[in-house]
Amino acid sequence: MEIIGHRLDTPQRLYAFGELMLLPGYATLSPREIDTSISFEGLNLKVPFISAPMDTVTEADLAIALGLEGGLGVVHRNCSVDEAVAMAEKVKKAQIPEGNATALKDKNGHIAVGAGTSPLDIDRAVALAEKVDLLFTDVASFHNAKLIEGTKKIVKMTGKKIVIGNLGTKEGVIHSVKEIGKENIAAVKMGMGGGSICITTDVSGVGSPVTFGVEQAALALKELGLLDEIPIIADGGIRYSRDIAFSLSLGASMVMLGNLFARCEESPGETITKDGNRYKVYWGMGSAEARKKRLVADRYQDFGRGKQVDEGIKMHVPLEGRVDEVVERLSSELKVTMGYIGARSVKEMKNVARIVVKTATQEKVGIQ
């Protein structure tokens, strides 16, 4: 009998955000001297924050509010093509307050916006390509022959770069980049199964935590000689400002946020009151609630077969305030971290950061 357990001979250790710690560096900067901006496909983001294309996170209102703060909103695809186009058009028509120096603008001075699409939904991608600044493939596991071929068709028909993801391994990044072509990829989005409302790993046993996925992408792009050409987006399980700092220190240029932006007044999730406290309804795109529309079935390896397995859950998250308030808090806390480790810019973080793993004893005594 053949023994297949040999794959466990040299296991790779996966770390959660809570197991990590950044060591202090030589600090010479005050928070006001630190720059959190990032250049991305001709857009100048004032903060490295991108909203997740989820139907309880990003529609036009949140994309507008985030754009005014210098981040990029990505509208979801759990709707008709016409509805998605209408959301994008609403963002583009939004007025930018006079004197706003932080807004993320396109070349025409309008608020920049992205949109999620299935690699298999060519009609949606083509319709949105002229309406948004960036298209994002929105699937749980992008390293799939059909999805890669679909993405190649989208690139050919739109003539535009695309953000690919989600991916979780070095091999997946290398293969996808080679297949699609480096000149056609705007960024790689890393992470699988780590979201607070994602249960893909619980259901299937398959996943790639953001901490591991980002590092895998960095290794892959370095091997391809593209580390300075193709940015990495960390996506999934980012719940605290420290998680943003860890992601950027490991090699990401930007972070995609779902849970944190679901807590904002402008998110489309229902607002409820319980025991005198206000909450937002937030669910995963693989949840029963999201799948009712049947417009995101192919996000979770269901190519029209009618798979009935839930890979997401519904939860209530505290309503924290407006987008501008949440962005201000997160960016301020990020600057504090950057000051402690001695990083003047987001790009510098990955060069100066030193990350250690906490022991079980440290966890027990409350080193967090």
Q: Which residues are catalytic?
A: 198, 299
Number of residues that make up the chain: 368
Q: Is 36 exposed, middle or buried (0-12, 13-18, 19+ CB in 10 A)?
A: buried
Positive or negative, the Cα torsion across 275, 281, 282, 283? Answer: positive
Positive or negative, the Cα torsion across 306, 307, 308, 314? Answer: negative
Collapsed DSSP state (helix, strand, coil) of residue 150: helix
For the record, the structure tokens of 187 come out as 């960024």
CA distance 196 to 191: 12
Question: What are residue 196's phi and psi, to 5 degrees?
Answer: -65, -25
Angle at 154 between CA 55 and CA 94, to 5 degrees: 45
DSSP string, 187-253: EEEE-BS-STTB-HHHHHS--B-HHHHHHHHHHHHHHHT-TTTS-EEEES---SHHHHHHHHHHT-S
H/E run at residue 148: helix 145-158
